[in-house]
């Protein structure tokens, strides 16, 4: 099956002219290039299908390459393919053919309709008119998912080779959360899988910057970090990963997806965050890494 992105890139690595720090920024859910074939397969209108996007997150972090760190960003939308899942996390009800035991069909994410190929978008709205073929899944996963992760691994390996350590910032947005048990809803959620994917001092720094701007910051609840954070965050091998979730209401209208006057202030705050990370001595802060070969495996 020919790729839906045969005539355009499915994702992009934006590299700095000179790598100045062991940072890698990843925006896997901000893609907004919807293939015509995919749109013909969905029962949703163009605004509804976009409700799963981390809209404009790639733009909020767009200064990273200008400051000396690469940015990997998806052009394909999350509703089409979710690279923050295992590669074959698939819902058997979505496919014409039966799925064998090699597929992960029983994860909580699949049960929620949010596997590698999502069944629903926000508010549990079904995406597809009809069931898919496994050839369609293979086209997306073998043709886009695996190359995307190869590009991400390559960026981390380059950072480790150059600096002896790497820090992945996994960039996301979240719907506006509601108060819980008399606690104000957070504006920012930092996920390090409960202290397992990132040096504590790095999370402390992130919290200090965002809280210093007057934002409410939470750690790991309700978002502790997805597949990318869990998979690449190996502090014992010198590779750290931190997921950053930014509440969409801070910079856009969540219904119309139109950026509002808060966008520029959040963009400047993110730039300040990037500057702070670049200015760190990550090697001493994160502790001594093991040789780079282990981080590249």
What does the pLDDT look like over 30-76, one tens digit per residue? 999 999 999 999 999 999 999 999 999 999 999 999 999 999 999 99
pLDDT class for 182, splitting at 50, 70, 90? low
- Which residues have C-beta within 8 Å of that of residue 163, sequence separation ≥ 6? 21, 22, 282, 283
Report CA 27 to chain centroid distance, whole Å: 5
pLDDT-derived band of residue 292, with 50, 70 and 90 as boundaries?
very low
Q: What pLDDT shows up at residue 264? A: 98
User: Looking at residue 77, what is its pLDDT?
Assistant: 98
263: exposed, middle or buried (C-beta count within 10 Å: 0-12, 13-18, 19+)?
middle
CATH of domain 11-296: 3.40.630.40
The whole-angstrom separation of Cα 35 and Cα 20 is 36
Which pLDDT score, from 0 to 100, does residue 283 have?
Answer: 75
- Token pair 């799925």: residue: 99
Quick: pLDDT tens for 194-232.
Answer: 999 999 999 999 999 999 999 999 999 999 999 999 999
Residue 285: pLDDT band with limits 50, 70, 90: low
pTM score, whole prediction: 0.94
The ranges assigned to domains in the chain are 11-296
Q: Is the pLDDT of residue 287 over 90?
A: no
The rounded distance, in Å, linking the Cα atoms of 70 and 163 is 14
Q: The sheet that has 166-174: what strands, in order across it?
A: 11-14, 71-74, 23-27, 166-174, 239-247, 188-191, 217-219
> What's the whole-number average pLDDT of the chain?
94
């Amino acid at each position: 099956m020919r790729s839906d992105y045969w005539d355009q890139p499915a994702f992009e690595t934006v590299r700095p002219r000179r790598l100045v720090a062991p940072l890698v920024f990843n925006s896997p859910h901000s893609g907004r290039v919807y293939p015509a074939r995919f749109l013909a397969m969905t029962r949703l209108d163009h605004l509804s299908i976009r409700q799963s996007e981390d809209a404009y997150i790639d733009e909020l972090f767009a200064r990273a390459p200008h400051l000396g760190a690469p940015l990997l960003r998806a052009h394909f939308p999350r509703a089409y393919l979710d690279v923050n899942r295992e590669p074959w996390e698939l819902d058997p009800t979505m496919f014409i053919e039966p799925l064998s035991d090699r597929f992960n069909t029983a994860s909580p994410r699949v049960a929620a309709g949010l596997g590698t190929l999502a069944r629903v978008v926000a508010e549990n709205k079904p995406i597809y008119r009809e069931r898919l073929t496994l050839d369609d899944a293979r086209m997306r996963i073998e043709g886009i998912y695996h190359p995307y992760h190869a590009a991400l691994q390559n960026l981390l390996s380059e950072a480790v080779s150059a600096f002896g350590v790497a820090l992945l910032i996994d960039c996301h947005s979240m719907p506006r959360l509601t108060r819980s048990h008399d606690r104000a809803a957070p504006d920012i959620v930092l996920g390090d899988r409960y202290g397992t994917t990132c040096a504590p001092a790095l999370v402390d720094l992130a919290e200090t910057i965002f809280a210093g701007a007057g934002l409410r910051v939470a750690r790991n609840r309700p978002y502790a970090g997805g597949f990318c954070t869990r998979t690449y965050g190996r502090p014992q091998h010198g590779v750290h990963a931190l997921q950053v979730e930014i509440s969409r209401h801070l910079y856009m209208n969540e219904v119309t997806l139109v950026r509002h006057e808060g966008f520029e202030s959040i963009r400047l705050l993110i730039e300040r965050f990037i500057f702070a990370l670049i200015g760190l001595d990550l090697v001493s802060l994160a502790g001594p890494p093991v040789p780079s070969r282990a981080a590249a495996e």
